């Protein structure tokens, strides 16, 4: 950027000095206005010459990050382990993901698909399903989804066999539902 000292009255072709400023001083407004013009001149579009061009191009870019969320709403179902239950809805799952390549919902059992009493090495095996997809023996469900951008609601269901000889106590398992962009 080549800034030259100019003198002359304000408003004249060479005048950038204000009344009351010492000779050779620049007006701050003149410097601020000169800087963008100098920067613009230094950054020309591809293919344009220093003398100018009849057209220029500008590329605009925007970014939308992938956002995937899952939320659970547990039902008030109490599992009857003595009598057994089939296809009992235990939670509603709301999934949402805007990933262009789709996404995966995974459901995993901490106890490998068993309801267990505290400190017990084994328990009652159960079957888990999510929107028609059944869990593997390990208690894991993995569901692939196509990209839609819309939220989706599914049902997590459980089937437990009748176990009239179980010892008294509370039998539990923890399910983890996760969502990830592909």
pLDDT of residue 64: 94
Q: Cα–Cα distance between 148 and 97 in angstroms, integer?
A: 8
**CA distances (Å), 166 to each of 69, 87, 88, 119, in order?**
38, 21, 20, 15
Tokens of 51: 């003398």
pLDDT tens digits for the chain (182 residues)? 444 444 444 444 444 434 444 444 433 333 333 344 444 444 444 444 567 889 999 999 999 999 999 999 999 888 999 999 999 999 999 999 999 999 999 999 999 999 999 888 889 999 999 988 888 878 899 999 998 889 999 999 999 999 999 999 999 999 999 999 99
Residues whose CB is less than 8 angstroms from the CB of residue 150 and which lie 6 or more positions away in sequence, other chains included: 96
What domains appear along the chain, each with residue ranges and CATH number?
1-42 (no CATH), 68-181 (2.60.40)
* pTM summary value: 0.65
pLDDT of residue 138: 80
Q: Cα–Cα distance between 78 and 80 in angstroms, integer?
A: 6
Work out whether strand 175-181 and strand 103-109 pair parallel, antiparallel, or are unpaired.
Answer: antiparallel
DSSP 3-state of 128:
strand
pLDDT of residue 121: 81
């Amino acid at each position: 950027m080549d800034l030259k000292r100019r003198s002359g009255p304000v408003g004249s072709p060479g005048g950038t000095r204000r009344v009351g400023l010492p000779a050779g001083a620049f007006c701050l407004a003149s410097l601020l206005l000169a800087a963008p013009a100098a920067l613009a001149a230094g950054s020309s579009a591809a293919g344009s010459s220093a003398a100018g061009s009849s057209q220029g191009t500008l590329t605009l870019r925007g970014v939308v990050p992938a956002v995937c969320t899952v939320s659970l709403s547990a039902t008030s179902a109490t599992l009857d382990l003595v009598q057994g239950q089939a296809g009992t809805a235990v939670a509603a799952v709301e999934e949402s993901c805007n990933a262009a390549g789709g996404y995966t919902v995974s459901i995993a059992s901490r106890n490998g698909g068993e309801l267990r009493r505290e400190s017990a090495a084994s328990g009652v095996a159960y079957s888990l399903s999510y929107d028609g997809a059944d869990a593997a023996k390990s208690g894991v469900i993995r569901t692939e989804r196509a990209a839609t951008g819309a939220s989706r609601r599914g049902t997590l269901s459980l089937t437990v066999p009748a176990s009239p000889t179980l010892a008294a106590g509370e039998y539990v398992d923890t399910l983890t539902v996760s969502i990830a962009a592909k």
